Amino acid sequence: MRTTTLGRTGIKVSRIALGTMMLGAWGQRDHAEAERLVHDALDAGVNLVDTADMYSDGESERIVGKALRGRRDEVVLATKVHFPMGDGLNRSGNSRLWIRRAVEESLRRLGTDRIDLYQVHRPDPDTDLDETLSVLSDLVREGKVMAIGSSDFPAEQLVESRWVADRRGHTPFHTEQPPYSIFMRGVERAVLPTAQRHGVGVLTWSPLASGWLTGRFRGGAPLELNDFRSNLIPHKFDLDLPGNVRKYQVVEELLKLSAEAGVPLTRLALAFVLNHPAVCSAIIGPRTREQLADLLAADTVELEEAVLDRIDELVPPGADLNPSDADYTPPALADASLRRRSRT
């Protein structure tokens, strides 16, 4: 397994990371099988394992913690904070109050004394970045967290976070975790170049575009969706949206391209993500050991220029095939009152 350095942290990580969102109620419910999947990844040379407190309401963290018993020091362990965890007004967001509680709960579920990379899962318009970076910096100084990162932050907030860290003497975000795939190329416009300029390590998620780039969904046939896709990300499969209908057509072209290149579509899609110079590691989210084995084989795939050029023709650089796929919408776009003058 190829390795690289995570931004400017000096931490060495595998180019393919194991994402564990699908371990637990959202995917692989058999804990023993889920633990075997983690062990398979480690045995293959993967050393970066990414989870989050909200995945299956903490179940993913508990599975990861059990799987890493006796192997903890082999792993760069990453988790996240932001989304609601149970009832309570202050059990979500990026405040000092919640992050202090959330990190302790994650440490208990993971069965460890430290988190190697602690990431803010989404921006929080209700919390000043100074507040968030302040508590994260405290956790770094205390040794509970080794490095900190963001996820789904727009380029302007990445820059603002570095300004705040420099001005206030805080630890800056070491990493950013955006969605990136052949279908979701919007981050090529500003997020990836900004991360490169500032030495921020990039870990990408959803390289298979929530399953579209497996080639399973074909021919305009009705979509048979599991509970996760139906309940948590239905907008990515809503065929009333032209961008989702377009996915069928592009998948067919990509299947032809992958056949010509002699590479399965899953590996072609992952190799495309790893080809971008800003990307340190691509996070995969297999549900089964067979899916894991297939994706790990992408580590040796090198795409020729002609293949990359053809992908650019199908989905132009910097474009999202379905703009509605975005998992984070800036508040000013979601709330009309924030972009209109008061009439009172």
Vertex 299, ends 255 and 46: CA angle to 5°?
Answer: 130
Q: How far apart are CA 177 and CA 121, in angstroms?
A: 9
Under 8 Å between Cβ of 296 and 270: no
Count of all residues that appear for the chain in the document: 344
Query: Rounded to whole angstroms, what are the CA distances from 225 to 155, 211, 218, 337?
Result: 33, 10, 13, 35
Determine if residue 10 is left, alpha or beta; phi over 0 gives left, psi from -120 to 50 gives alpha, anything else beta: left
Beta-carbon contacts of residue 340 (< 8 Å; ≥ 6 apart): none
Using CB atoms within 10 A of its CB, is residue 70 exposed (0-12), middle (13-18) or buried (19+)? exposed
- The number of beta carbons lying within 10 Å of the beta carbon of residue 85 is 18
* 180 catalytically annotated: no
Q: How far apart are CA 324 and CA 247, in angstroms?
A: 13
The residue from 55, 118, 180, 328 that is catalytic is: 55
Question: What is 275-329 written as a DSSP string?
Answer: HSTTEEEEEE--SSHHHHHHHHGGGG----HHHHHHHHHHS-TT-BSSGGG-S--
Q: Which of 327, 336, 315 is nearest to 152 (CA)?
A: 327
Q: How far apart are CA 208 and CA 68, in angstroms?
A: 26
Q: Which residues are catalytic?
A: 55
